Chains A and B, each alone.
Chain A
Amino acid sequence: MDNSRSNSFLRSREGVLTVVALAVLLAAPLVAQAAGQTYFISLASRVAILALAGVGLNLALGSGGMISFGHAAFFGLGGYVAGAMVFHAQEGGQFLGLLAGTQQALLSWPLALAVAGIAALFIGVISLRTSGVYFIMITLAFAQMFYYLALSFPTYGGEDGMTLYERSTLGGLSVSGDLPFFFVCFGVLLLALLLCSRLTGSRFGAALMTARQNETRLATVGINPFPVKLTGFVISAMITALAGVLLVEQNGFASPSLLSWHRSGEIMIFVILGGVGRLIGPVLGAAVFILLETVIGGYTDRWQLVLGLVLLGIVLFARGGLVGLLAGRARHD
Chain B
Amino acid sequence: MTLRKILLGAAAATTLALVSGAALAEGTKIGMITTLSGSGAGLGIDVRDGFMLAVKQGGGKLGGKAVDVLIEDDAQAPDKAKQIAEKFVKKDEVKVMTGIIWSNLALAVVPGVLKDGVTYVSTNAGPSQLAGEKCDPGYFNVAWQNDNLHEGTGKYVNDAGFKNVFLLAPNYPAGKDAISGFQRYYKGGVAGSLFTKVGQTDYAAEIAAIRDAKPDAIYFFLPGGMGIAFMKQLQQAGLKVPVFGPAFSFDQDVLPAIGDAALGVKNASQWSKDLDNPANKTFVAAFQKEYGRLPSLYASQGYDAAHLIGSALKVADPADAKTFQAAVKKADFASVRGAFVFGPNNHPVQDIYVREVVKEGDVLTNKVIGVAFRNHQDAYVDLCKMQ
Which residues in A have some Cβ–Cβ distance to B below 8 Å? 37-40, 42-43, 46, 148, 151-152, 154, 157-161, 163, 165, 247, 251-253, 255, 257-258, 262, 288, 291-292, 294-295, 297-299, 301-304, 310, 313-314, 317-318, 322, 325
Asked if B13 lies at the interface with its beta carbon under 8 angstroms from chain A, I say yes
Task: Contact check, B86 vs A42: say whether CB atoms are below 8 A apart.
Answer: yes
Q: A157-B173, A304-B75 are in contact. List 14 more A-B contacts (CB 8 A).
A: A39-B86, A39-B89, A151-B172, A154-B173, A163-B107, A253-B107, A257-B77, A288-B10, A295-B10, A297-B73, A298-B17, A301-B37, A303-B73, A317-B3
> Once the chains are docked, how many angstroms separate the CA of A314 from the CA of B176?
45
A to B CB contacts below 8 Å, 28 in the list? A39-B90, A42-B90, A151-B171, A151-B172, A151-B198, A152-B171, A152-B172, A158-B172, A158-B173, A159-B104, A159-B172, A159-B173, A163-B107, A163-B108, A247-B79, A251-B108, A253-B107, A253-B112, A255-B78, A255-B104, A257-B78, A258-B79, A295-B13, A295-B14, A299-B13, A304-B37, A313-B6, A317-B3
Over the window 57-85 of chain B, the binary record of Cβ atoms lying under 8 Å from chain A Cβ atoms (1 yes, 0 no) is 00000000000000011010111001110
**CB closest chain-A residue, reference B115:** A165
Please determine whether A292 and B10 come into contact, CB atoms closer than 8 angstroms: yes
C-alpha gap A43/B17 in the complex (Å): 15
Tell me, yes or no, whether B345 is within 8 Å of chain A by CB. no
Which residues of chain A are near B82, meaning CB under 8 Å?
A: 251, 253
- Which partner residue on chain B sits nearest A40 by CB separation? B91
Contact (Cβ within 8 A) A294 B87:
yes
Q: In the complex the two chains form, is B83's CB within 8 Å of A46's CB?
A: yes
Given contacts A37-B91, A159-B172, A292-B10, contact A298 B72 (CB under 8 A): yes
At the interface, yes or no: B236 with Cβ under 8 Å from chain A?
no
CB distance from B1 to the nearest CB of A (A): 9
Q: In the complex the two chains form, what is the Cα distance from A154 to B173 in whole Å?
A: 8
User: Cβ of B174 < 8 Å from any Cβ of A?
Assistant: yes
| Chain B residues positioned under 8 Å from A161 (CB to CB) | 78, 104, 107-108
* B127 in the interface (beta carbon within 8 A): yes
Q: Contacting B112 at CB < 8 Å: which of A252, A292, A301?
A: A252
A257 and B77 CA atoms in complex are apart in Å by: 7
Minimum Cβ distance to chain B for residue A305 (Å): 9
Is A160 a contact partner of B103 (Cβ separation < 8 A)?
yes
- Shortest A156–chain B CB gap in Å is 11
The secondary structure that dominates the A interface is: helix
Q: Which residues of B contact A43 (CB under 8 A)?
A: 87
Report the separation of the CA atoms of residues A158 and B79 in the bound assembly, to the nearest whole angstrom. 16
- Which chain A positions have C-beta within 8 A of B89? 39
A313 x B79 contact (CB < 8 A): no
Measured CA separation A297–B107 after assembly (Å) = 22
B137 within 8 Å of A (CB atoms): no
Chain B residues with CB under 8 Å of A303's CB are 37, 73
Question: In the complex, are the beta carbons of B103 and A163 less than 8 A apart?
Answer: no
Chain B residues near A (Cβ < 8 Å):
2-4, 6-7, 10, 13-14, 17, 36-37, 72-73, 75, 77-79, 82-84, 86-87, 89-91, 103-104, 107-108, 111-112, 127, 129, 134, 171-174, 176, 195, 197-198
Considering the complex of A and B, which 7 residue pairs feature the smallest CB-CB distances, nearest first? A39-B90, A159-B172, A39-B91, A301-B36, A253-B108, A160-B173, A158-B173
Complex Cα distance, B103 from A233, in Å, reads: 36
A317 to B1, CA, bound (A): 9
Residue of B nearest to A162 (CB): B107
**Which residue of A is nearest B127, CB measured?**
A160
Known: A298-B72, A301-B37. A165 touches B6 (CB 8 A): no
B residues within 8 A CB of A154? Answer: 173, 176
- Given contact pairs A39-B90, A294-B87, A322 touches B3 in the complex (Cβ within 8 A): yes
Residues of A within 8 A of B77 (CB): 257, 262
Bound together, the chains give a CA A165 to CA B75 distance in angstroms of: 24
**Smallest CB–CB gap between A323 and chain B, Å?**
11
Inter-chain CA distance A38–B90, complex, in Å, is 6
Cross-chain contact B198 with A159 (CB below 8 angstroms): yes
Is A295 touching B104 in the complex (CB atoms < 8 A)?
Answer: no
* Contact status B72-A313, CB under 8 Å: no
Scoring A43, A252, A301 by chain B CB atoms within 10 A of each residue's CB, the highest score goes to: A301
| Contact, CB under 8 Å: A160 / B104 | yes
A251 touches B111 (CB 8 A): no
CB B341 to nearest CB in A, in angstroms, measures 28
Q: Of B75, B87, B174, which one neighbours A159 at CB under 8 angstroms?
A: B174
Residues in A with CB closer than 8 Å to B129 are 160, 163
Min CB distance B240 to A, Å, is 32
